[in-house]
Amino acid sequence: MTIGFRVVNDIDRPDPAVVKRIAALRSCDVSDVLNRSGTMVGIRHVYAPMAAIAGPAVTISVPAGGINMVKVGIERARAGDIVVVSAQGEITYAMIGGNIALGMRSRGIRGFVIDGAVRDVSELRDLGFPTFARGVATAAADLGGPRGEVNVPIACGGVVVNPGDIIVADEDGIVVVPPSIADQVVAGVRDLTAKHAQAREILGRGEVTSIDQITREFVAQGLEVAETDGRNRG
C-alpha cells in the first residue's frame, strides 16, 4: 500500500449505544474531564445556531488539497458518521461547499469537520448541515490534487484523530474521545455536572465560589491585601 496515497475501506466503529451516551454531553464538559486532551483549537462552527453532533470519525488527509480525495472519503462514510478532514490549516481555498454538503446530508452523514476552509455558508445554513472549519474561502480547491489518504490517523485542530474516534462538536468547540475511554468520560461528566449544580447554588446567591481558599493560597504565595490603595481621596 502506498504511503500518502491510500484508502482504508473498513474501520472499527464504536457501539451506537456508546455514541448515544456521548452525544448527550457538552464539548466543554468533555474537555474538562479529559483535562483539555483531545480538544481541537482554531476550528469553529461556520454558522449559528449550530446543532450539536456526535459520531464516529471517518478521517481524510489532503495535505496538498484535492476535492476528489474528500469525495473518496465521503463514499466510505456511513449514516451517523462525522467526516473529519486534515487540510493542514489551508484556508485560501475551500474543500467543500453546498453541493457536497447536500450529498453528505443525503447519505445520513452527521456532520463535517475540517482543518481547512469551506464555502457556501448560506447554503450550509439552509441545509442545516453541521459544519466546522478553520476558515471560509470563496475559491474552490483543485479537484484532483496530488494524493491523499482516507481512514488513517490525522492531525486536526492540533490533536490526533483516529478512524472511529468519537467526535463531540457543538457551538463551544470540538473534542475527540477514543472509544476505549468513552464510558469513563460519561461517568466523569456525570460527576462534574453534580459539582457544577452545587456551585450554581452558591453563584445564585451572588457569592464567589471557593474565594476563601483562593485568597489563602494567594496570600501564602505572597499576595498583599490592603484595605485601601493608600491614596488621599480628599
At residue 90, the pLDDT reads: 95
Q: What's the CA gap between 47 and 177, in Å, rounded?
A: 24
Residue 200 has pLDDT above 90, yes or no: no
Domains along the chain with CATH numbers: 5-188 (3.50.30.40)
β-pairing verdict for 53-61 and 44-45: unpaired
At residue 234, the pLDDT reads: 56
At residue 233, the pLDDT reads: 60
At residue 194, the pLDDT reads: 87
pLDDT in tens, 71-116: 999 999 999 999 999 999 999 999 999 999 999 999 999 999 999 9
Radius of gyration for the chain, computed over Cα atoms and rounded to the nearest angstrom: 22
Banded model confidence at residue 205, pLDDT cuts 50, 70, 90: confident
Banded model confidence at residue 230, pLDDT cuts 50, 70, 90: low
Which cell goes with 72? 473518496
Residue 103 near residue 150, CB atoms below 8 Å: no
pLDDT in tens, 20-55: 999 999 999 999 999 999 999 999 999 999 999 999
Residue 68 has pLDDT above 60, yes or no: yes
CB count in 10 Å sphere of residue 113 = 28
pTM of the model: 0.91
Instruction: Report the share of the chain in percent with pLDDT over 90.
Output: 81
Buried b (16+ CB within 10 A) or exposed e, 1-18: eeeeeebeeebebbeeeb
User: For the residues 173-201, what does the mean pLDDT come to?
Assistant: 91
Buried b (16+ CB within 10 A) or exposed e, 19-34: bebbbebbbbbbbbbb
At residue 106, the pLDDT reads: 98
Residue 117 has pLDDT above 60, yes or no: yes
pLDDT in tens, 147-183: 899 999 999 999 999 999 999 999 999 999 999 999 9
Mean pLDDT of the chain: 93
CB count in 10 Å sphere of residue 111 = 25
Which cell goes with 160? 490526533
User: What 3-state class would DSSP assign to 187?
Assistant: helix
Let me know the angle formed at the C-alpha of 21 by 19 and 22, rounded to the nearest 5 degrees.
65
